[in-house]
A and B are shown apart, each in its own frame.
Chain A
Amino acid sequence: MSNALVAVAWRGAPSVERWLAAAAVAAATLLGAGCASTPPAQVVERSATAQSAETAERRPAPEPEAIERTPLSPEDAAVGEALPAGASSAGPPVVVALVETAEREAAAGALENAAAALERALAIDPQNPSLWYRLGELRLDQGQPEQAIQMASKAATLAGDDAALRRSSWLLIAHGHRALGDEASAQDALRRADAP
């Protein structure tokens, strides 16, 4: 890049005129001052206008390196080709990778980052009931029972033959209603969970 190129030129040019050196130092100082106000790339700070209290904390952004810890063999990638999106609850490798990112964020307490990763996965695999279910769990943990109920309802409608997931979804709906103080709806959801 031209930047680097000029820097190299500077180092290798002892005969730079005094005024140019001064200008360069000044410019470098300006640039330095500018850089100092920019947070390090790997640390993302939330302002208070972020959506929930937990996001106001300082916390690491998802580490790009972390994704690399789950390398795909060429064979795995080939499986990804063959799999139509939404073919299974687990989903194609890309969805698995995003779910792992979400779990890592959630484990670190970065619930909204975890939600963002799940939403990325949903944009790729929108009919995957596990993703909706997991998003519902996160919303419950974040103190948003209404959205927890909605996400779980979506999971329940998409669950199809996955009886276990359907049951979990109705249990989550029950939790949500209970959190809202609606015991009648919670009991109703519990009955649906146990329906054959």
Chain B
Amino acid sequence: MLVLAAAGLAWLDIGVRRQFEGTRWAIPAHVYTRPLELYAGLRLGQHDFVEMLTRLGYRRVAVPDEQGSFRAGEAQVELMTRANSYWDGHERSRRLRVDFHGGRVRRITDTALGTALPIVRVEARLIGSISPLHHEDRSLVRLEDVPQSLLTTLMLVEDRNFMRHIGVDPRGLARAVWTNLRAGGVVQGGSTITQQLVKNFYLSAERTFQRKLKEMVMAVLLELHYEKHEILQAYLNEVFLGQAGNRAIHGFGLASRFYFDRPLRELTLSETALLVGLVQAPSAYDPRRHPERALARRNVVLTLLERHGQLRPGELASLQSAPLGISTTATLATTRYPAFVDYVRRQLRRDYRDDDLRSQGLAIHTTLDPQVQDAAEAALASTLSELDQARDLAQGTLEGAVVVVRPNNGEVLAMVGGRQAGFAGFNRALDAVRPIGSLVKPAVYAAALSEPSHYTLATLLDDGPLRVEQRGSPVWTPRNYDGKFHGEVDALTALARSYNVATARLGLEVGMTNVVGVMRRMGIERELVPYPALLLGAADLAPVEVAQMYQTLASGGFRAPLRGILSVLSAAQTPLARYALSVDQVIDPAPMYLLNFALQEVVRSGTASALGRSLSPALNVAGKTGTTDGYRDSWFAGYTGNYLAVVWVGRDDNGSTGLSGASGAMRVWHALMRRLDLEPLAQPRPEDIVTVVVDLPSGKLADDGCDGARPLPFMRGSAPREQARCATLAARTPPAPAQRRRPSRLWLDERNVR
């Protein structure tokens, strides 16, 4: 009998310790957006600022004298920021007044000091948690981060002898019974905090004497093995406090976000009282479903606080008359940006060992810009709905992905993995690996334009029928989208109008090795098969990889590795690692200048001219459309001076969308850019670039009689020398190639180009 009891005890002991250890070290890494850099001159209106503060959980109050509160006046916002740590230092909490004028920040004043600030980082918003051990985010808290008022209230209501008892507390039980009898209902619980923790480990709710006994034994065992503060911290993170759909709300940290959309440390005393009151019966007191019961329960707790001298005289009445303060907009923010958080998780996994990620409570500061992200989500969802309706497609079969990057530094500002952006699932931005179609063409022209003695924008290319015989494969006969051949056509027009045959021939001339080399330098790491079909986009890439390619172009040939993470801090806010900016010049300035000129021509007069008509020409937008066989994939990649966005639209079953790059993805791109403040794409002109007026149809120097004369950039020494005589001779003489085209370089020995 004794042996059996000892064995049982040992078994319980192992069980309770395993449970406890399992929960103890699982504080996940928190992921934050980039902070808002607020400075005089920033384009930001008062209304938008107020909306951002609201999103950050700032409360609108009469006098903003608590962290995370604000007051909106006319063309002005007063606020008290929350303290925040960043890699390069700490931004303390400040009282600020921000004045607005003409849709911009006019002035920022630290009202406590009475001085103007040139720049201040307002706040990084928590967008999710990454836990290598658990999938579930519990918004875990450390004991030192828990407000004293919560601990006091909790012990007062649930377990007054917690700091002294050994896991069970007969006196507390007796007192609870007595109090409840006197109150004529359940006011206080009878179990100690330790017992409740044990009960939470074993989720069964059976109320048997045997179970109660087991619970008491385990509580004592727990107390033997662990310190009070360890047990208290585990309890604070483990206690059941409500239900969100099929998800249980465990712990005060998560409950604070779920009910109030604010961190625990910012709760008022009445809000704290409500949370503590919920412990006893979270569903019966559910403040959303039973607000009147919740209010009564909260007021019971407040009365208890008053009776034990925790309130100032007269304070009880004002606290009891306060509304519940339940947030109507609170979501469990962990899933707000699942695609981006997924990206961050993968970058961390790539760069760190699992053991490093297991350290508790890392703070991950990311590049995410919530405004851009929201704009990208809205643009994708609304445009795809319009396309559904316009094309009579089955609702919801169209899918898409968006990646937005800051051109010069490779920071990923936004990432959307599907039209229902808030739902975690197939992350198309990273995992929809699809043929990129004509998006590959800039690599072909970059390779060609890097040889100025052979190719310029005015070089005439042959867009006549092409047959490529490949041993062991069917003959390759590329065709144009319009089904026509265009004869001799200048390189600028061939790229702007996305002519396949001319581009294929050009790519074969410059050589597959060169084209693949350019793609590598643009940042494509995936294996590329150097078959001719690659020249027309038979390369399967994910949107994020395409974004890397186009980042290189958008920054003038300087590849900057795409980054989702800025820095990593420890739980104690100690900087651990920084993802510094690094760039690599992989395309020379002159050919890059010519290529960007041609990609701007795509928007001015080419396949993206619909954009050119709706966006200001002064923005000098550059871009490229992409469409794949059978209209399965619709792509657009384009950039202004401050944003690069890549959009893919297609179907998960790889069926036809009936959309070209311009009629699908480009519309999403446009809907996105319309929501952002755009800066023009300013290309600094390299010293060795000159402008020469040419007659494009002949590829020769234009004279006064040429109708189609236009100024084009050339690398010095590469411009045509021969005069076109448009008015007189051009009509009678067939245009001759303006330049010596380089002899075809056979891409593989046994293959022929005809």
Contacts and interface: CB of A to CB of B under 8 A. Distances in A.
Given A20-B152, A93-B118, A94-B41, 9 more contacts: A1-B66, A2-B268, A9-B311, A22-B163, A30-B144, A30-B228, A96-B118, A123-B411, A157-B684
B91 interface: yes
A81 B118 contact: no
27 contacts: A2-B271, A3-B147, A5-B149, A6-B149, A15-B309, A17-B308, A20-B152, A23-B163, A24-B148, A27-B148, A27-B152, A27-B155, A44-B85, A61-B89, A83-B41, A94-B40, A94-B118, A97-B118, A115-B580, A119-B581, A122-B408, A126-B409, A126-B642, A127-B641, A157-B556, A157-B589, A159-B684
B690 interface: no
B73 to A, nearest CB: 17
B149 A2 contact: yes
Contact of B161 (A6, A19, A41, A86): A19
Interface in B303-329: 308-312, 315
Interface string A67-87: 110111110111011010110
Contacts, number: 244
Contacts of A3: 147-149, 265
Interface residues of B, number: 90
Q: Which 10 A-B pairs have the closest CB atoms?
A: A34-B144, A61-B89, A97-B118, A13-B309, A80-B41, A94-B39, A126-B408, A77-B40, A26-B163, A116-B88
Interface stretch (B107-115, B184-192, B431-439): B107-115
A23 B309 contact: no
Interface of A: 1-3, 5-10, 12-17, 19-20, 22-24, 26-28, 30-31, 33-35, 37-39, 41-42, 44-47, 49-51, 55, 61-64, 67-68, 70-74, 76-78, 80-81, 83, 85-86, 92-94, 96-98, 105, 112-113, 115-117, 119-120, 122-124, 126-127, 135, 147, 150-151, 153-154, 157-160
Interface in B212-271: 228-229, 232, 265-269, 271
Contacts of A122: 408-409, 581
Contacts of B149: 2-3, 5-6
B578 A51 contact: yes
Contact of B585 (A68, A73, A154): A154
Contact of B684 (A37, A46, A120, A160): A160
Given A72-B118, A77-B106, A2 B580 contact: no
A23 B474 CA distance: 83
A78 B161 CA distance: 62
A54 B100 CA distance: 41
Contacts of A5: 149, 269, 312
Interface stretch (B486-494, B567-575, B729-737): B567-575
Interface in B81-115: 83, 85, 87-92, 94, 101-102, 104, 106-107, 110, 113, 115
B156 A46 contact: no
Secondary structure type dominating chain A contacts: helix
Interface of B: 37, 39-42, 66-67, 83, 85, 87-92, 94, 101-102, 104, 106-107, 110, 113, 115-119, 142-145, 147-149, 151-152, 155-156, 160-164, 228-229, 232, 265-269, 271-272, 308-312, 315, 356, 406-409, 411, 556, 558, 570, 572-578, 580-585, 589, 641-642, 679, 682, 684-686
